[in-house]
Amino acid sequence: MPPRAKKAAPTNENATLAVSAKANVDVNAVMNERKVLAEKNTALENQIDELTKRLTEVELSKTQTEKKAKKFEAEVKTLKKTKGFTPSFEGIQVSKIEGDTKSVSKKDESKPKQPATAYLLYCNAHREQARAANPDVSFGDLTPSIL
């Protein structure tokens, strides 16, 4: 038998015409449908890109909050070591530790005052003389002139 002759491969237009002729389908309708599907495909690809960007942002913020949580836990551990610690999510609060605060004693009104020193007695005795000699001098400048 003689070998068969090879037929030329149909071009895209020829293939579309052949398919449309067989299926009785309008070629323009098929081409329009393909364009619509291609547009939908690009829109879906854009949505996928946006969602992946959002996902990476969420993952980054999640890692940042995890780091902050670890720092907070470390602070809580160090503060738990102190006596009388009560954790709070509104802010870290540490109750007063007994014996750490210095008590301020009130003055006893009946206690007599300490006597004036020799320097104060000398300054008070000679202040009037220095003021008479320098009447326009301020109080701060008058004291060195007494000595």
pLDDT above 90: residue 16: no
Q: Which stretch of 50-54, 77-81, 113-117, 120-124 has the lowest confidence by average pLDDT? A: 77-81
Three-state SS for 85?
A: strand
Q: pLDDT tier at 115 (50, 70, 90 boundaries)?
A: very high
What whole-number distance in Å separates Cα of residue 123 and Cα of residue 132?
14
Percent of the chain with pLDDT over 70: 68
Handedness of CA 14, 17, 20, 26 (dihedral sign): positive
What separation in angstroms does the CA of 124 have from each of 114, 128, 138?
A: 17, 8, 16
* E strand or H helix at 40: helix 27-80
- The predicted model scores a pTM of 0.30
pLDDT at 68: 82
What dihedral angle (degrees, nearest 10) is formed by the CA atoms of 53, 54, 59, 63? 100
User: How much of the chain is in helix, strand and coil states, percent to nearest 5?
Assistant: 60, 5, 35
Q: What is the mean pLDDT of residues 114-128?
A: 90
